[in-house]
Amino acid sequence: MAHPAIGVRTLELVDPRFYHLDTALGVLDDRTIAYHPAAFSARSRRLRDELFPDAIIATDADAAVLGLNLVSDGLDVVMTDRAPHLEAELREAGFRPVTVDLSELLKGGGRVKCCTLELQEIRSCPTRSSPTV
């Protein structure tokens, strides 16, 4: 997990149902995450308690439908329509959930985050056709 204020931290997933971080943890804004405790080792849960004491806890049912595989701009949270408890928790915390039906994508093991492309600023990236000096 990387965060501008805390740097890169290692989190250990211990439940094979959660095969990468996006299936067990969703970043909501700079101070808030949602996560499923059972997916992580005890050390990782302690680190989460230290860094994100106000984390929103996803239920087993929310996590099983990959409800944490979401995208947030800090207010609006695009997420599956199959995680009603997590949706309610997000609303209570002041976020605006936007639910979508991606049931076909779940058949391949994905949800909302899997439909995104992160764009980052590229400063100077030479290509094979770029002249060399």
In the annotation, is 20 catalytic?
yes
User: Is 125 tagged catalytic?
Assistant: no
According to DSSP, the β-strands at 76-80 and 71-72 are antiparallel
From the candidates 85, 114, 115, 125, give the one annotated as an active-site residue.
114
Full strand arrangement of the beta sheet holding 76-80: 71-72, 76-80, 96-100
Q: For residue 18, how many other CB atoms are within 10 A of its CB? A: 22
Distance CA 49, CA 51 (A): 6
CB neighbours of 41 closer than 8 A, spacing ≥ 6?
11, 12, 13, 14
Kindly name the residue from 20, 85, 115, 125 that is annotated as catalytic. 20
Residues annotated as part of the active site: 20, 114
